[in-house]
Amino acid sequence: MKNDVQVAIIGFGPAGAVAAGLLGQAGITTLAIDKTVEIYPKPRAIALDHEIMRLFDNMGVANSILPHTAPFTASEHHGAEGQLIRRIDMVPPPYPMGYVPSMVFSQPPVEAILRDHATRFPCVEVALGTELEHLEQDDDGVTLHLRSPNGEPRQLRAGHVIGCDGASSLVRQQLGIALDDLVFDEPWLVIDVLLTPGTTANLPKTSAQFCNPARPTTFLIGPGLHRRWEIMLLPGEDRFAMEEPAEVWRLLSPWLTPADGTLWRASSYRFHALVAHEWRSGRVFLAGDAAHQQPPFIGQGMCQGLRDVSNLAWKLIATLNGTADPALLDSYGQERGAHVRELTGRIKVIGQVICERDPQAARARDARILAEGGGTPRTITRQEIVPKLSCGLLSQQNDQPARGSLFPQPRVDSDQGTDLLDRVYGTGFRLILSPAIDHAENLAAKAREQGVTPLMIGPGHIDEADGVVATWFAAQACSAALVRPDHYVFGTARNAAGAQALLAELCRIKGAQPAAG
């Protein structure tokens, strides 16, 4: 049976829309469906980071999205007595990816931009109001049984399917994939307020975690007039009663009154830590909330999902275009599964600190955290909490600390003045060289032969504005980095011979099995 499209995407939320845009950009025939027509109008995810903004920029939508973002203010953690115990902030300038490293954003307009981007490609069909009811796969493709907006059944064949259908994913259920419970399950009330312009409300000047055992609470400064409180629900509290405006204003009364703002959303939400046991079954993949859910304590929920589709899209494109062996697709779940588990584990530890309800244990926690800072509140960065890739399509040479990390993006000279590296030189596999490398010409020629773009960054070559790459090469004690299309470092080398070995290794494993973890 002939396939109607190369890829079908179930769910057109942020993960599905980015997947459709990336596949559309590469000319892959794609169908994206969503059972709802309208974008969910309330804010849900509120934070994104520089890795995701780089992805948006590579898609050509960063300039439209940036007005809906603002820098993520440092989160001050206050202990049981209200004392400052630590801060979680972003890394200082010069910014490693070229953007503010941590941002807050407004989900509805950003989703609208992502949807609009995907629908621009003639090879992408978007079917809204269309629900997946059932799927079955065979050796050649997947048959989708859909219900159209007018209630008519529609049947369609796709070469591959990506289930981006959210937390209660039907795709995941139909594949019989279980969610591994990383053991975190706390009921919280998420409250979004739009401040009255000019309000003199008694609000913290920066974001905060009030680790008060009587009522753990998060405060976030969103973009513009948007402020969010996440308030832990206590045993015996009825979630629906707590969503009532009178209750919500009572909870917010230490900070503001109804005259100071309008309630945008107040909904109870369970903070889970769940990860799909498998990320792929044959021709069908899971991505986004369908594959994982995590507590929102450092704002990584949507970022995780967009990392998934960024990782999967370039591998699917390479496989469908015949430039990589289909076995490369196995590295998707291997890489993303390990990354999500590691990051969720770290978020869970932060969550356990925040959610401590026992006053004595909370005092001991405060003392321990302060002691970790040598007696004063220390600052950790959101960027150091996000791990590297630990397995998958990575060099197997062991002495490379940068392997699996994100390669930085410098601002470089261009014909139009200073601009970001990717905008001037594009993406794909790149061999980034320091001017210190030996046999540069020969190495660059070898890279090109393999479809890898050589870029020498340094004085007299590609001039960078802030020394971000020079500092990186010095810190990693290397002079070459082989970088993947999603900007993760495949491997590093000290000299031309090492770099040639990396190119040969990439060629070998891209065409065959991914590296072991």
Ligand X SMILES: Cc1cc2nc3c(=O)[nH]c(=O)nc-3n(C[C@H](O)[C@H](O)[C@H](O)COP(=O)(O)OP(=O)(O)OC[C@H]3O[C@@H](n4cnc5c(N)ncnc54)[C@H](O)[C@@H]3O)c2cc1C
Residues in contact with ligand X, shown as a per-residue x/- string from 153 to 192 under the rule CB under 6 A: -----------xxxx--x-------------------x--
The answer to whether the bond into 67 is cis (omega within 30° of 0) is no
515 sits near ligand X (criterion: CB under 6 A): no
Choose the stretch contacting ligand X; rule: CB under 6 A; options: 28-36, 61-69, 177-185, 343-351: 28-36
Interface with ligand X (CB under 6 A), residue from 3, 7, 9, 11: 11
Span near ligand X by CB under 6 A; candidates 12-20, 340-348, 378-386, 468-476:
12-20
Sequence-distant (≥ 6) Cβ neighbours of residue 515 within 8 angstroms: 391, 392, 393, 394, 395, 396, 509
**21 touches ligand X (CB under 6 A):** no
DSSP code at position 257: -
| Choice between 80 and 306, CB closer to ligand X | 306
What is the three-class DSSP state of 45?
coil
Minimum distance from CB of 244 to ligand X (Å)? 18
- Give the contact letters, 125-144, x = binds to ligand X (CB under 6 A), - = no: ------xx------------
Task: Verify binding: residue 261, ligand X, rule CB under 6 A.
Answer: no
- Dihedral Cα 164, 166, 170, 173, nearest 10 deg: 100
Q: Is residue 288 within the footprint of ligand X (CB under 6 A)? A: yes
Pairing of β 430-433 and β 453-456: parallel
Kindly state the smallest distance separating residue 149's Cβ from ligand X, in Å: 11
How far is it, in rounded angstroms, from Cα 215 to Cα 1? Answer: 59
Q: Dihedral of the CA atoms 228, 232, 237, 243 (nearest 10)? A: 10
Pick the closer one to ligand X by CB: 173 or 379. 173
CA distance 391 to 336: 9
Report the C-alpha gap between 393 and 404 in whole angstroms: 9
Check: CB of residue 290 under 8 Å from CB of residue 166.
yes
Q: CB neighbours of 243 closer than 8 A, spacing ≥ 6?
A: 189, 266, 267, 268
Residue 264 binds to ligand X (criterion: CB under 6 A):
no
| Subset of 33-52 contacting ligand X (CB under 6 A) | 33-36, 44-46
Residue span 298-327 as binding mask against ligand X, x where in contact by CB under 6 A, dash where not: -x-xx--x----------------------
Binding site for ligand X (CB under 6 A): 10-16, 33-36, 44-46, 131-132, 164-167, 170, 190, 269, 288-289, 296, 299, 301-302, 305
